[in-house]
Structure 1
Amino acid sequence: MRKPLLAALALVMFVSACGAVRESRLNPFNWFKRSETVAVAEVTPGAVQDPRPLAQQITALKVEPASGGAILRVTALPPTQGWWDAELVKRSPDENGARIYDFRMSPPKGQAGVNTPRSREITAAVFLTTRQLQEITSITVQAATNGMTSRR
């Protein structure tokens, strides 16, 4: 009688401790909240210029936990099909924990048609290490007409 009671009590205490981990910063699913749309920020003078134009519009931004850090995955919608060489280009050094990326991609080589928005979507991603994430409180990705931010 005594052993089952002790086992049940230990199980109850173990399961009750799981609630504290769910809201803690140790849980990778709590690292960043849902993304939100923000206004386009101005480019700082003296920043490295990339010849590729900015994506027209950002449609999705997700920070997904991964082994050793997180993956920042961003989807953009160009005006036509055929855009390529998409990349998230980091702007200047982080300021007060805010990291800003530009979503840049190369235009099509020739004439390109316009089809459904789903067929024009382009996704780019970058891996952020756990050490980088310790210093970051918000991540912003800029396009030509909008930007999106994910905060802790």
Structure 2
Amino acid sequence: MRISIAVLLITGITLSGCNSWRGSKANPSNWFGKSNNTETSDVANAGEINPLIPENADSGLFSSSNAPEEDFSVPVASVTELRIERTPSGAIIYATGLASRQGAFDVRLDLNEDSDENTLEYSFRAVYPEYATPAGTDFSRTLRVAQSLTHQDLAGVNLIRVSSESNARETRR
């Protein structure tokens, strides 16, 4: 009886010292920091653009038949959560956002090509139906998307940023 009480007491004291695992660098959930809410910048969208001139020169009567499909996606209203989890092949970006109305589909993260080499910047986009839909509750407008990244994609990256129409969330290594 005395031995079992002593073993239980020693085991309890030893396990109570394991509380520091949560803040440890060995814990995979601490490999990326928590995401922060940041303001979006309209500097990239404020360039001199003439909407009457087509962006590509191939548009018109003699354009090629294998032209890419038109993109009807728009940024979602806001990004509410950003989480990155390590995998054996790289990492997975999980983003949660709030649509401006119900019925959004074809949800995706589009990589912004003009970001620098130390930053991966994504735009959280969705396509809305052509017909009017109600706004509904926050639960019915919640959107979730995931993007897989390889070790090559993550090489040299210190900041991952996901932007929406009204805000952006970012996480650092």
- Fold conserved (TM > 0.5)? yes
TM class, shorter-length: 0.7 to 0.9
Q: Which secondary structure state, in structure 2, belongs to the residue aligned with residue 73 of structure 1?
A: strand
Amino acid paired to 1:23: K
Partner of 2:107: 86
Matched-pair contact (CA < 8 Å) for 2:162–2:170? yes
Q: Equivalents in 1 of 2:41, 2:111: separation in Å?
A: 13
Compute the TM-score of the two structures, normalised by the length of structure 2.
Answer: 0.66
Residue deviations 1:101-147 (CA, integer Å, cap 9, x gap): 01111012312122220121111111011222232100011101000
Larger radius of gyration: 2
Cα distance change of structure 1 residues 97 and 130 upon mapping to structure 2, 3 Å threshold: same
Amino acid paired to 1:142: S
Give the percent of matched residue pairs that are identical in Structure 1 and Structure 2.
Answer: 27
Matched-pair contact (CA < 8 Å) for 2:75–2:126? yes
Match 1:103 to one of 124, 131, 145: 124
Q: Equivalents in 1 of 2:83, 2:98: separation in Å?
A: 15
Matched-pair contact (CA < 8 Å) for 1:88–1:104? yes
Q: Equivalents in 1 of 2:31, 2:150: separation in Å?
A: 13
- Deviation of 1:29 after TM superposition, in Å, equals 3.1
Compute the TM-score of the two structures, normalised by the length of structure 1.
Answer: 0.74
- Deviation of 1:37 after TM superposition, in Å, equals 0.5
Partner of 1:133: 154
Cα distance change of structure 1 residues 132 and 31 upon mapping to structure 2, 3 Å threshold: farther
CA RMSD of superposed structures (Å): 2.6
Q: Which secondary structure state, in structure 2, belongs to the residue aligned with residue 41 of structure 1?
A: coil
Q: Which secondary structure state, in structure 2, belongs to the residue aligned with residue 135 of structure 1?
A: coil
What does 1:2-151 correspond to in 2, within 5 Å? 22-23=24-25, 28-42=28-42, 43=44, 50-151=71-172
Matched-pair contact (CA < 8 Å) for 2:25–2:31? no
- What are structure 1's unaligned runs of at least 5 residues? 1-18
Q: Deviation above 4 Å: which 4+ runs of structure 1?
A: none
Q: Equivalents in 1 of 2:71, 2:121: separation in Å?
A: 15
Q: Which secondary structure state, in structure 1, belongs to the residue aligned with residue 75 of structure 2?
A: coil
- Deviation of 1:53 after TM superposition, in Å, equals 1.0
- What are structure 2's unaligned runs of at least 5 residues? 1-20, 50-69
